[in-house]
Amino acid sequence: MDMQRPRQLFDCPEEIVEFIILDIPNPSDLLHLALACKALCKHIIPYHIQFRILKLGLGYVPGWLLDILTQHASLLSRYRTAEFTIARFSEYPLCLRPTASDLLGFIDYPYLDLVDVIWQSLSLVCHMTNLTSLVMKTTNPSSFLPILCLLSSSTPCLTFLELSLYSVSESSTVKEIDQLMPAYNPLRRLQHIRLINVCFVKDPTRHNDAQLNLLIPSLSNLEVYFVHPPNDFLDLFQRGSWPCLSSMFIWMMLPIDTPHDASSIFNSFFKRHPKIVALAFAVLEPPTLFPSQPWTMEIFPNLRRLTTNLPIQSVMSLPIVSQLTHVCGTFGDATIMHLEEMNNLEQCVAYLSMDLCDFLKSLPSNIQKLTVDCQSDEDGDIPDEEWISGLRLLRKHNRLTHLAGISSIAYDLTTSHLAIQELRLIPQLM
């Protein structure tokens, strides 16, 4: 009788290989094993990478999954990115999915309520000590500071945080995070924060102004989205002070009862952050003139990049536009003086509510990349004749290398040959 060849690890069923890999606690040992054994490389490398990202669709999470994850603390410590979304799908390693026989033991596990899953996911994050990026939902609009306090004790490597509000029904209970830790460790690596309908609300019973600022001393990029701002949404701008802040994105729909001093609150916030280089500012349906006065160089001494849906002349004063290098905004007849003063403009996305040629006549000669969006005829496109006249005005712009917005050339093969000839006279565009 022939002796059977000993079964090697890489001949085993995939589930067994996964469980063996899972039992190796140190990720560096796991990678070393993969590099030392070519036969195991094809098995280990994918899982070594897979154990870096955890994506859970909170709309479809069975109760057994959170229990299994909680039991594997060494696995949780491997994750670098965690995303908890509302989508009804999840991506997690096959070794965490129960087999058919295991499912019989999980028969009594119900699918968890979405609100409960959101808050139980925080307990998982507390074990992800090497996490660098976190995207998650919350049920309380004022949970920004409590979550920061919780993360400060468990995720010292965090560099990106996104919090967005999940609107619960009136019958659901909005849960609070208890701040059990009076002491905290600053999240010194956290540089980028995105808040979607989540804000900081001052608690008069606690001295948390300084706590908010000291928790994230290295914050350099802040994004704030408010679709339906709460009554105290301005508290974040009243209290926040971060010396490294250089990029600011604000998108909000101002409520009708917005305080009259909202403009002064924003002015004070921007003055406290003189290092802001890039500003994206979009306000939908402002109830009053906002901002009340155009911003000056005193407020933005280092601003170089501007994106706004508001008329540029109502947002920026005439002297400040001379320092802008990148602009995305609406240009009309009232903006001509500001356009002529943009002597350092290098890249521009222009939404025109004016004649194309009038815009190009005033366009600074230093422009390198230009995108034009203008609807001037029934088809929603600029006629060839207008583009031909405009291209003749662009001949003097010898630094222009990118031009977008001529959709008739991009999608219509019947474009006038005169327009093609004019383009050929600007060789750096070809």
* 114-125 helix and 63-71 helix, angle to the nearest 10 degrees: 10
Quick one: pLDDT at residue 28?
A: 61
**Does 251 fall in a domain?**
no
**Does 187 fall in a domain?**
no
Quick one: pLDDT at residue 56?
A: 79
- Is 213 buried (19+), middle (13-18) or exposed (0-12) by CB count in 10 A? middle
Scored b (16 or more CB within 10 A) or e, 391-405 reads: bebbeebeebeebeb
The pTM of the full predicted model, rounded to 2 decimals, is: 0.80
Q: Provide the number of structural domains found in the chain.
A: 2
Quick one: pLDDT at residue 324?
A: 97
* Structural domain boundaries, residue 45: 9-50
pLDDT digits (tens, 9 = 90+) for 318-373: 999 999 999 999 999 999 999 999 999 999 999 988 888 899 999 998 999 999 88
**Does 317 fall in a domain?**
yes
**Does 369 fall in a domain?**
yes
Quick one: pLDDT at residue 415?
A: 60
**Does 44 fall in a domain?**
yes
> Any idea what the CATH number is for the domain that residue 318 is in?
3.80.10
> pLDDT below 70 — which residues of the chain?
1-51, 59-63, 87-114, 167-183, 201-209, 230-231, 256-257, 287, 375-384, 406-416, 427, 429-430
Percent of the chain as helix, strand, coil, to the nearest 5: 35, 20, 45
DSSP 341-409: T-TT--EEEEEESS-HHHHHHTS-TT--EEEEE---STTSS--HHHHHHHHHHGGG-TT--EEE--HHH
**Does 286 fall in a domain?**
no
**Does 41 fall in a domain?**
yes
pLDDT digits (tens, 9 = 90+) for 10-39: 566 666 666 666 666 665 666 666 666 666
Helix (H) or strand (E) holding 14: helix 14-22
Question: How far apart, in whole angstroms, are the C-alpha atoms of residue 256 and residue 314?
Answer: 20
Nearest to residue 27, comparing CAs of 9, 10, 52? 52
End-to-end alpha-carbon separation of the chain, Å? Answer: 77
**Does 243 fall in a domain?**
no
DSSP 8-state code for residue 285: S
